[in-house]
Amino acid sequence: MALTFDDGPHPEATPRLLRMLDANRIRATFFLLGSMVEKHPDVARAIAAGGHEIAVHGYEHRLLLKRRPAETMEDLARASAAITAVTGQQPVWWRPPYGVASTAALIGARCLGLTPVLWTCWGRDWTPNATSDSVFRAVRRGLAGGATILLHDSDHSAAARSWESTLGALPAILVHCRARGFAVGPLREHGLRRLDNLRQPVGV
């Protein structure tokens, strides 16, 4: 199982998540926002220092279908540059905000050497009514071998403090994965390949 987190880094949620992952000897992939990386560089560096994989979610969390091609390319390039400069990692994965990629975004990602990745199950942890139990049940319904789990370690584009439900659900998710014999790790250990001639997102 690939374990992934979007919208960070967050000054409170991400450090708590990192401690939880470290205690469980789990590494994950973090799809970071460039604007949040610049705002919280120490947290972004802590993610990389913890052995986690760094990926791009964009500079701002905006629907790409509403942006002009030049704006889209600028967003991706700015995000990739900011994330690389702060973390020291050159990202290879990209997840579009809201999971929606425009043609311009796919072309821009390819130019930057970024492979699009979506998900196969999510916790719906950004919603105002999410609870630890609802997040766990939502993820469990979609779990299967080779799955990519989408969770959030920030409330940047979500209900206030929604990440508390994510953190509350994660121990149960990890126990469930282990009980079913699923190894949990970042995308780089997931069997996905960089697709230089990619025509559509992978991981869905």
- For residues 79-96, b (16+ Cβ closer than 10 Å) or e, as one string? bbebbbebbebebbbbbb
- For residues 122-141, b (16+ Cβ closer than 10 Å) or e, as one string? bbbbbeeebebebbbebbbe
Q: Please say if 152 is a catalytic residue.
A: yes
Q: Please say if 7 is a catalytic residue.
A: no
Identify the active-site residue in 6, 7, 125, 153: 6
What are the two backbone dihedrals, phi and then psi, of residue 96, each rounded to the nearest 5 degrees?
Answer: -70, 145
CA dist 42 to 10, 16, 46, 54, 80, Å?
10, 14, 6, 14, 17
Identify the active-site residue in 10, 52, 57, 152: 152
Q: Is 109 helix (H, G, I), strand (E, B) or coil?
A: helix
**Catalytic site residues?**
6, 152
